[in-house]
Amino acid sequence: MPDRPEHRPVLAGKAVLQGPGIRLEPLPEGHLLHIMGAIDAEDLAGRIQAAGLEESTIRSAGYRQWFIAGDDVLPSSRIAALSSALQASAFVSDQSHGRVRIGLSGPQAAELLAKGTAVDLHLSAFPEGRSTITLFGHISLQLTRTDADSFELTVLRSFAEALYEELETLAVSLGAIA
């Protein structure tokens, strides 16, 4: 009998749904690091690169807070290297185990999101790279525009399945199939 339960991605087995103008997919459960402290985004980007995390993206998460997201699971040594690079400026809290990322893309992605959030998703109001904490229905999430027609939703692990199922229903209503 194992001492700990085996890790299973929360959205394992969920189908990628795709239609003419929409794609919904579970993203890899890689890494999500919460950075808090007196550091600006430009300085943070340099320190992330110095720690060897240049493939990761930086998302604003509030005043002096950022999420560093990526597809790879990071060993504790890489997180420690980033923590050392940020020493005296900011703190790192690994949120990888507690949050899940979902991808939504296509010309109808903003239309689908508008059915559950009050964020103005017009490209001029919410440009590529913009990120905000919001609600989708009753579920809190971080919404990031990763491209003109692409979004990433980061949600607490315990709400990921419910959110994905709600997004599946909306994607099917827009013509998506598994």
Question: Residue 5: what pLDDT?
Answer: 65
| Model-wide pTM > 0.95 | no
Question: Residue 1: what pLDDT?
Answer: 53
Question: Residue 40: what pLDDT?
Answer: 85
Phi, psi of 163 (to 5 degrees): -65, -45
Q: What token pair was written down for 91?
A: 């703190």
Alpha-carbon span 129 to 86, nearest angstrom: 23
Given a cut of 50, the residues of the chain with pLDDT beneath it are none
Q: What token pair was written down for 85?
A: 């690079």
Cβ distance 91 to 64 under 8 Å? Answer: no
Question: Residue 13: what pLDDT?
Answer: 86
